[in-house]
Amino acid sequence: MRALLQRIARAPGGRRGKWLVLAAWLIVAVALGPLAGKLGDVEETGPNAFLPHGAESARVNTELEKFRTDTIMPAVVVYTGEGARRAADADRARLARFVAAGEELGGPVPSADGEALMTVVPLDGEDEITDKVDELREIAGANAPPGTDVEVGGPAASLTDGVAVFDSLDATLMIATGLVVAVLLLITYRSPVLWLFPLLSVGFAAVLTQASTYLLARYASLPVDPQSAGVLMVLVFGVGTDYALLLIARYREELHRHEDRHTAMRIALLRSGPAVLASAGTIAVGLACLALADINSSRSLGLVGAVGVVCAFLAMVTVLPALLVLAGRWVFWPFVPRYGTPARKERTVWSRIGSAVARRPRRSWLMSVAVTGVLALSAAGISLGLTQSEMFQDKPESVVAQERISEHYPSGASDPAQIVTRTAAADGVRSAAAGVGGVARVEPGGDRTPDGSLTTLSVVLEDAPDSDAARDTIDGLRDAVHTVDGADALVGGTTAESLDTARAADRDLTTVVPVVLLVVLAVLIGLLRALVAPVLLLATVVLSYLAALGGSNLLFEHVLGHAGMDWSIPLMGFVFLVALGIDYNIFLMHRVREETARLGWARGVLEGLTSTGGVITSAGVVLAATFAVFAGLPLVTMAQLGVLVGIGVLLDTFLVRTVLVPALALDLGRWFWWPGRLFREPPRGGTGDARSAGTPEAVETAARTTS
């Protein structure tokens, strides 16, 4: 591993190597640039993109493809108010021209209470559905009398509203993330020039990421959906900037110690490289563990995210060092690091925090555990699952239309459950379905495949398609139709998809979480050459995750007004926070291990905290801010993921890594490193003592020794 890092350090840090590295990246950017813009071409937006792999509802969607070469997607126009009848009759001729060939305009169907009318417009799925729905919304009710409300809903309108969210997602995220990172880098470096270099390097990483993802999706069946594509760029920006901050901070230190900037960069890469490599490996492998998930969107997010982290790592350890060495010391202006001057002030805010923790390490970690524990208790009251109307921060028209339908019709009238059965047993399946409680009616007729072997049945439920009662009805339907001999019946539709997703989320949580914990533990053991320290570090990150989950739940419920938490959030939040949270512990403890070998167990902890405090805090704020961009998105799932990751990263940055971990290391002393070499052999700098190491004199001595 060290030999590999030496070769990596020699290239961008060399006098000739830097030119070769930059030339190679320019060639890659020019060659792959056109492919990066094609990522949207391979995004999976079909009905199974966000469903569990192999779920019954997904199998129904697959079977429905056999029924006809074109697909029919209904739009439902709902009229309410005094002039509903007049508006529906006036629109009938205009709506008829949208009807797919071979289909008929349905309705207007009056509600039982006589206060609403519903017209079903079957649209040709081969056409641009979103354009058709937009036209429908312009036409429907254009001449409606005052006091009449007209909304367009149904599956076609829901798809249109969902696409509208994701269409603006990539551009919004890229612009917002870029601005946030640029501002924070300016504040961090207080230089008018230096902030450009991490952003330029992240730009190279973004091109490589998008092109690699496109090629893997096209030729290696990598699953990509609009959600994972949107998160991908935020992850690359956040992780790439973190690595840039760590590398630049170490490079600045070495410039104080070495006159030649090439030598300074090579040493900076050698000393920070293991931590960056361990961090990238942990995050990439942790995200890749989502490949074990049943839900396709979770698998996509994990695998695509792993690709992004690897590309960000490659860019930050090659092109960024080459650019910095090429530019020289002046990029740090006005705070140019001069050879032979101290790397930092002897007394900093981080040295003061370290000395305060060292004076009472046990009290410090007990108080930290108490704070995170109180927040974690709030996670016990989480309400999981969101209805369709609760998935958006602002209700789109399709959701309003569904609410109107639920008020005046059987709630499932606009989006019935679908049964696919063998034609020979269709009558038996129809009878079985009609006898299930919660079923309003089974629609007459049904489509058949061209060979006549399969038939579909539409089942209208009494309750709203996304309600708990409707999901219970789906269970009853499945139990009933599965018992019909020779039917091979399958039950699908929106309600069935919601039910299958909720159950798969529970399975994924119990499957993926243990694997991620084992992977992260193995990386920490390999990096720290100990057992106690990795176990404690992993425990602190899990505690931080639970605290973030509880704190986020309080925000969702009492501040943002969300009805609950989406089923996917606990798992995705866990994987992101464990992988990203351990990131900062790796940065800290790698430096602590290095300094402990020189200064002793206690002083090594304080010097590691003092050396990395500023850069890790900056990295945490940048990463939290990039994910906080999600909070302003209209999709509740994305907003919740951003808030959860942001809170978790800030907890890790300001409490876990700053107080809890150093306090544990100081309290345990040599036992923190059991059974490694630092436990068995006294460090060259002596054993040290936590209480004496916390005095100002000891901290100043450690700082002067390092400088």
Give the mean pLDDT of the chain: 83
CA distances from 223 to 53, 297, 447, 507, 673 (A): 12, 8, 31, 20, 41
Reported as a single tens digit per residue, the pLDDT across 659-670 is 898 899 888 888
- Quickly state the pLDDT bin for 164 (edges 50, 70, 90): confident
Looking at residue 91, its pLDDT comes to 85
Model pLDDT, residue 636: 84
pTM to 2 decimals? 0.78
Residue 490 predicted with pLDDT over 90: yes
What pLDDT is attached to residue 106? Answer: 82
**538 contacts 552 by C-beta, under 8 angstroms:** no
Q: Report yes or no: 438 and 468 within 8 Å, Cβ to Cβ.
A: no
The β-bridge partners of 458 are 418
Distance CA 442, CA 421 (A): 14
Confidence of residue 699 (pLDDT cuts 50, 70, 90): very low
Does residue 494 register a pLDDT over 90?
no
Confidence tier at 7 by pLDDT (50, 70, 90): low
pLDDT band at 9 (very low <50, low <70, confident <90, very high): low
Look at residue 370 in the predicted model and tell me its pLDDT: 93
Predicted local confidence at residue 707, as pLDDT = 38
pLDDT digits (tens, 9 = 90+) for 130-149: 888 888 888 887 778 888 88
- Segment 182-206 mean pLDDT: 86
Per-residue pLDDT of 356-393, as tens digits, reads 888 889 999 999 999 999 999 888 878 877 776 677 77
Lowest-confidence segment of 161-165, 355-359, 544-548, 593-597 by average pLDDT:
161-165
Q: Helix, strand or coil for residue 152?
A: strand
**Model pLDDT for residues 526-547, shown as the tens digit of each residue:** 888 889 989 998 899 889 999 9
Q: What's residue 704's pLDDT?
A: 44
User: pLDDT tens digit string along 345-355?
Assistant: 556 777 788 88
**92 vs 174: CA distance, rounded Å:** 43
Average pLDDT over residues 148-176: 76
Residues above pLDDT 90, as percent of the chain: 16
pLDDT of residue 419: 92
Higher pLDDT, 630 or 6: 630
pLDDT bucket at 693, cuts 50 / 70 / 90: very low
Give residue 243's Cα distance to chain centre: 19
3-state SS assignment for residue 556? helix
Specify whether the CB–CB gap between 456 and 446 falls below 8 A. yes
Give the model's pLDDT for residue 706: 39
* Phi, psi for 82 (deg, rounded to 5): -65, -35
Q: What DSSP string describes 676-700?
A: SHHHHS--TT----HHHHTSHHHHH
